[in-house]
Structure 1
C-alpha cells in the first residue's frame, strides 16, 4: 500500500514538473526535409501601446485557411501564464516549396465585422505569428489621413530564409490594402518565398535583439558609476567603523584596567551597554523569520535563474524564463524552510508549523492573489491573459505537493541543525529601557533613508528591465543583471551596517526590524519609479519589425483598466519581492557584527577593506611601513589601473571594429582598427593619470598635515580635508587631462592599414580620441 501511494506521488510530481519544461510543437529539433510541412501559428492580437492586453487572433473576424491537420498548440505552463494562444493558421507551407500569391479564404464583411476591424485599426492593433519558434509581427490595417476611411491588409507575403535543413529567418510584408465597406467579400491571400541564408542557426535570434540599446555606453557607464559608488561606500563604511570602534575599544580597554571603585558606570554609553539585549528576539518573530526565509529563497532563485539565462539563452524560447523561474522556486523551497525555521527556533518560537506554512505560502499567496484579481479583469475583457482552469490546478499542485513538502524538510533540518541559540553573551532577563535619541537616529528615519543608495545603484538597470518587459525590447544582457545584483547586495549590506551600528550606539537594540525595513525600503523607491516610468516613458515609438507601421510615429501611453491594473499590480508584486530579498541581504551582516563587537579580543579590522591588515597581522608583517603602503600608497596604482581597465572594457569594440579617420579638411576617409586601438590606449592612459593623481596628491598632502601640531590636536579634521582635497584635485585634473590628451589625435599614414597608404594627404590623418 505504501509503495503504491509512493508511486502515485512520484507520477503526480513528474506530471507537474513536465508541464514546466519548455517543449516545441512540430518543430522538436528544428530540422526539416524538403516538402516537409512547416506550421504557421497565429498567436495573439492587441493594441500596440498595451503590450499585455492581447486577445486570440481569431477573436477578430479573420478567416482561417482550408488546411485542417492541426487545431491547437498545447502550451507549457510558462506560455499559459503569459497568455500564449497559438492556433493553426490553416495555411499550407512546405519546406523550400515556394507559393505564389494564393487566396486561402474570404471574409464576408457585414456591419459587425466591419466595426470590429475599424475598432482594431483605430487602436493600432497588431498581431503576432510564429514559424519554427521565430516570431513575426504584422499590422491589422490603417486609416487614411482624415480618419474617415479604414483599410485592411489582406496579403501576407512571407519570406523565409533557410540554411541547410534549418529555418534561420522569417519576414512578413503586409500588402493588398482593401477599403472596409459593409456587405462585401474580402479575399485573404498569402505567398511564400524561400531564400538561402548564411545566418547560422544559433545566431538566428540576433535580429530581434537591440545591441545599440542594451550595450549603449550609458549602460556601461551606469555599471561603472555604480561600481565606483560601491568602492566609495565600502571604504566609507570601513573608515567610519574602524575609527569609531578603535576609539570605543581604547575607552573600554582603559575602563577594564580600572578597579570597580574607580570605574564610573554612569559614563558608559554606546553599543556595549546593549550587548545583553542585542540578541533579544524581535517583535513578531513568526512574521520576521518567514520574511527572512522567503527573502533568502528569492535571492537564490534570482541568482540561479540569471546564471541559467547567461548559459542557456532562455529568452529564445516562449515562456521558458517563467517556467524555469517556477521550477527553480519550487526546487529551492528547502532554503526557505531552513533559514526561516532555524531563525524562528533561535528566537524561541514554538509555533513552528504555523511559521512553516506562512513561509511556504507567503510569496505564492501574494503572486496568486494579484493574479486572481487581474484574472477577473482579463475574463471580463476576454483577453488571452485570462489563466485557464487547468493552469490554476497545476499551480496549486506545485504549491501543495512540491513547495510545501520541501519547505517542511528544510524547516526540520533548520531547527535541528542550527536552531539552537549560540549567542556569545547572555540575554538580560529584563529589557533595558531605550533612552531618548536625536531625531535622525529614530528607526522610522533610518528606514526611510536606508533605501536611497541601494535604489541609486540599480535605477538605471530598472529602466532597461522595465523597457524590455513593458515595451518591445528583448532583455538578453544578463551579465549586466548579475553585476547589478552583486552591486545591490554590497551597497545594501554596507548601508545597513552603518544604520545598525548607529542604532546600537544610540543604545537602541531593536535592530532586526530596522535593518530589514531599511533595506526593504528600496522597494518603495522602485515602485515610485514605476509611476514615473508609466507616465513619462510608455509613449512607444514604432519599430522596424512591423512593415506599414511607419505612419504611426509615436503611440500614446498605456491606457485602459486591464493594462493599468496589470502594470501596477505586477509592479507591486515585483517591488514587494525585491524588498523582501533586499531585507534578507543585510540580516547576516548585523548578526556577524553584533556577535563580534562585544568580544574584547576582536580589533577594528572586521570589514572588507581591512582584510589586508588582517593578513599582515596574521603573518606578523604589520608595521608602520606596511600600514602606510596599504592605506596611502596602494590605493594610487589601484585607482589608476581600475580607471584604465574601465575604459578598455567600455570601448573594447572600437579595437575590433575600428573608428573613423579624417583628413586635414575633416572629411572621413575610412575606418581604422589601428586608430581605434591607439585611441583606447591614450584614453586609458589619460584616465589612469586623472584618477591616479587624484588618489596620490591627497595622500601626500595628508602625510604632511599629520605632522602639524594643530592636526594632531584635532584629528577629526583629517577626514574632511581628505574629501575636500580629493574633490579639488579631481576638478583641477579634468582640464589638465583634456589639455594633455586632446580629443583629436593624429597618426602617420604609414602606421595605418594598407588601404590608407594610397590616400593623397600630407602624411598625417586624424581621429577622434573620445572620452
Structure 2
C-alpha cells in the first residue's frame, strides 16, 4: 500500500507545482486610479539574428541604484528571461513629455563596442508594463476587408546603421535614446478606475542639445521642451554611437482611451498568425488521413475478412500446403525481437512523451497557458514529463515481460536515463557555450541542480515504481504459440527493403504536420507568440491517426511477404518521420533565419536534434502500439491447428 500512496502523493505534488507555475504574479487584472505610479520593468535583449539573449543592463542603459529581479519560474530561467526594475516611472492617465532619464557624459570604448555589437546583430529591447510586453505598431492591409489592420512587433531595436554616400562608404551606428510610449487603457465609467490594455512604443534617435551648464535636477533641453513647443521627431539629427560621445536618454508618455477590454488585450499580439494557412494545414492533413483510412478499411474489410474466412474453413491437407500469406508466419510472428530491452525502453519513452503532450495540450485548451504566463508552457512540459515517468516505467516493463525478458531492472534504468540523459548531455554542452558568451540564456548552477533533482529525485523513482507494478502484473498471452525453430524468410522484393519501407512510412506523418511545424519553428526562433492550441490539438490527433494507419498498412504488406521481423520495423516506420523533421529544420534554418555565428548555430541544431529525437520516440510509439494491437487481433481471429 505504501508504493501506490507515494505515487499518488508525488503526482499530486507535481500537479500543484504546475498550477502554481501557471498563475504568475501580475496575471490578475489590476485597477489603477488616476496618477497611480506604475513601474516599468525591463526584460532581456533578444535577436533573431543572434539567438543568444542578454540582460537589459548588459548595455550601459540608465540603471537604478539597486537592481531587483522579479520572481521567475523554471521556464523563464530556461528561456533566458531576466525581469528587472528600471528608472522609468509612469503616472496613470497623466501625459508627460521629454522626461530625462539619465545622461552619459562620454561613452567609453567598451560601452561603444557593446552598443555597436548589439545594433549589428539586430538586438531588440523588451520591456513589460502590467505584464504586457512593449511592442511597435505595424499596419497591414487586410485583403478581405481592404482595410488596415494593426499588428504588434515585440520590442524595439537598440539602434540602427546607415551607410554614408560619396567617397569611401562608411557604416555608422546610431542609438535609439528617446522612447515615446503610448499606453492604451480601458476606463470604468462608474468607478473611474482603469486597466491597461495596450503598451506601444515608438523609438527615436536624437542628438539632444541643452542649455549649459547641465542641471542634474531639472535639465532644460533645446531639442525636446514642451514649454518651447519643441518635440522629438525623426527629422532631428540622430544620436551617433562613438567613443567619447555624450548620450541623453529621454522618454514621452501618452495615454489613449480604448474600447479593448482587459480580457482581449492580448488579441493584437496574436494576430501575427494567419488562420487561413492553419485551416489549409488541417485540410491537407485530413486528406492524408482519409487516404490512409481508405487503405486500412480496404485491407481490414475486404482482404483480411477474406483471408480469415478462407483460413478458418476446413480444407484438405493439399489445400493447406498451398496457403500463402500472413498466416504462414503465425509460429514466428510473436518471437521476441533482437534488442528487446532497447525496444521496450524506446516504447516507454514514447509513452512518457505522449502523456506529457496530451496533458500539456489539455491545460493549454483550458486556458492555463496564456501568453501572460511567461515560461508557463515550458514549465508545464518539464513537470509533466517528470511525472509521466510512472507510465514510462509501467509500459516498458509490460512490453519487456511479454518478450519474456528477465533483466527488468536494467530495462527500467535505461528507460529512466537514456532519453533524458541524451537531452541533458546536449543541453549541458550548449549551456557551457552560452555561458562562455556571457548570455542570460546560460542556465545558472541552481537551476541545473533543480533539473537534476527533478530527474533523479522524482522521475527516476517514478519510473521504477511504474516498472515494478508493470512487471509484477502477468504478461499478456500471445494468440498463437511460437515455434522453437525460426522459419526461413523468403527473398523480399526491393520495395519491401526495411530501409526503403521505413523511409516511405515516415513521409505521410510528416506531411500531416509540416505546415503546423512552420508556425512552431517561427514562434521558437523568430520570437513570435504561439497560442493556437486548438489547431495544434487537431494536428496532433491527425498525427496519431496517420502514424497508426501507415504502420498498419506497411506491417500487413510485410507479413504477407512472410517476413515476421515486424517489431522494430513497426517502430521505425512512423518514427522515421523525425528524419524529415530534422531535414525540414535544416531547410528552415537556411531559408528563413539569418544566423551566421557559431554558438547560435550550434544552439539551433542542438535543440532541433533534441526535438527530433523526442519526435522519433513519440511517433514511433504511436505506430508501434497500433501495429501491436493489429497483429494480435488478426492472429487471434484465425484458427491455428
Give the C-alpha shift of residue 307 in structure 1: 2.3
Contact 2:178 2:251 in 1 (8 A): yes
SS in 1 for 2:90: coil
Cα gap change, 1:225/1:15 in structure 2, threshold over 3 Å: closer, same or farther?
closer
Matches within 5 A, 1:290-689: 290-312=345-367, 313-417=369-473, 419-538=474-593, 557-600=594-637
Matches within 5 A, 1:66-81: 68=66, 71-81=68-78
Give the C-alpha shift of residue 34 in structure 1: 4.4
Contact 2:62 2:87 in 1 (8 A): no
Distance 1:49 1:29 in 2: 35
Give the C-alpha shift of residue 159 in structure 1: 1.9
User: What's 1:49 paired with?
Assistant: 49
Give the C-alpha shift of residue 377 in structure 1: 1.2
Distance 2:20 2:345 in 1: 26
Distance 2:538 2:172 in 1: 52
Matched, 1:152 2:149: no
Taking only aligned residues, the RMSD between alpha carbons, in angstroms, comes to: 2.6
Contact 1:13 1:401 in 2 (8 A): no
Distance 1:403 1:187 in 2: 53
Give the C-alpha shift of residue 376 in structure 1: 1.3
User: What's 1:105 paired with?
Assistant: 102
Distance 2:311 2:328 in 1: 11
Residues 229-266 of structure 1 show CA distances to partners (whole Å, capped at 9, x for unaligned) of: 21122112221344333443454345x332x4x4563x
Q: Name the larger-Rg structure.
A: 1
User: What's 2:85 paired with?
Assistant: 88
SS in 2 for 1:44: strand
User: What's 2:190 paired with?
Assistant: none
User: What's 1:118 paired with?
Assistant: 116
Contact 2:48 2:527 in 1 (8 A): no
Distance 1:223 1:205 in 2: 25
Cα gap change, 1:30/1:284 in structure 2, threshold over 3 Å: closer, same or farther?
farther
Distance 1:21 1:577 in 2: 24
Q: After alignment, is 440-449 or 128-137 more displaced?
A: 440-449
Contact 1:446 1:499 in 2 (8 A): yes
Contact 2:332 2:482 in 1 (8 A): yes
Contact 1:162 1:196 in 2 (8 A): yes
- Structure with the larger RCO, 1 or 2 (CA within 8 Å, 6+ apart): 2
Q: After alignment, is 297-306 or 387-396 more displaced?
A: 297-306
TM-score w.r.t. the length of structure 2 is 0.83
Structure 2 runs not aligned, ≥5 long: 135-154, 165-169, 187-192, 207-237
Cα gap change, 1:589/1:205 in structure 2, threshold over 3 Å: closer, same or farther?
same
Cα gap change, 1:32/1:371 in structure 2, threshold over 3 Å: closer, same or farther?
farther
Among 216, 225, 231, the alignment partner of 2:284 is 225
Matched, 1:257 2:294: no
Distance 1:489 1:25 in 2: 37
SS in 1 for 2:487: coil
Matched, 1:275 2:334: no
Cα gap change, 1:308/1:600 in structure 2, threshold over 3 Å: closer, same or farther?
closer
Residues 533-554 of structure 1 show CA distances to partners (whole Å, capped at 9, x for unaligned) of: 111122xxxxxxxxxxxxxxxx
Distance 2:502 2:174 in 1: 57
User: What's 2:143 paired with?
Assistant: none
Structure 1 runs not aligned, ≥5 long: 539-556, 603-771
Contact 2:43 2:126 in 1 (8 A): yes
Residues 424-479 of structure 1 show CA distances to partners (whole Å, capped at 9, x for unaligned) of: 22222222222222122222221121101111111111112212211243222211
Distance 2:405 2:355 in 1: 25
Cα gap change, 1:358/1:34 in structure 2, threshold over 3 Å: closer, same or farther?
farther
Among 245, 249, 274, the alignment partner of 1:214 is 274
Contact 1:65 1:91 in 2 (8 A): no
Contact 1:72 1:88 in 2 (8 A): yes
Give the C-alpha shift of residue 511 in structure 1: 0.5
Matched, 1:248 2:303: no
Cα gap change, 1:99/1:87 in structure 2, threshold over 3 Å: closer, same or farther?
same
Contact 2:288 2:508 in 1 (8 A): no
Distance 2:202 2:610 in 1: 39
Distance 2:48 2:343 in 1: 43
Distance 1:48 1:321 in 2: 21
Residues 555-580 of structure 1 show CA distances to partners (whole Å, capped at 9, x for unaligned) of: xx122112111111111111111111
Cα gap change, 1:521/1:268 in structure 2, threshold over 3 Å: closer, same or farther?
same
Matched, 1:200 2:261: yes
Distance 1:48 1:443 in 2: 40
Give the C-alpha shift of residue 33 in structure 1: 4.3
